[in-house]
Amino acid sequence: MSRFFYIALGWGAVGLGVLGIVLPVLPTTPFLLVAAFAFGKSSPRARNWLIEHAHFGPPIRDWEERGAISRRAKVLATSMMALVIAFSIWKGLPLWVLVLQGVLISAGAAFILTRPD
């Protein structure tokens, strides 16, 4: 039962990661990290496929080996965060929403920016 759960979690995370490639607000790499973890618990073959994948593998290996996030990914992530704040201001969202977004986005950006490249 637990193996089935982890396989389902892994493929679900891969699916969300693939959606994140085309949807700008949905991140890709965190879902692929979850998939690598889940496959590590359930399917060595699927995990190997994922970490050896030409596009998905490098960020996973960087994270697992050094806790690193590429400079390109950092710039993209923080730019998207800034765009979310700008869009929220443009839409005239209430102040409490802007403050909450600012606090949460600042925490996320601080985490991302303090990781090695």
> Residue 33 and residue 20: Cα distance in Å, rounded?
13
> Residue 41 and residue 63: Cα distance in Å, rounded?
18
Segment 36-82, tens digit of pLDDT: 999 999 999 999 999 999 988 999 999 999 999 989 889 988 998 99
pTM above 0.95, yes or no: no
As a whole number, the mean pLDDT across the chain is 91
Check pLDDT > 90 for residue 28. no
> Residue 92 and residue 73: Cα distance in Å, rounded?
29
Check pLDDT > 80 for residue 1. no
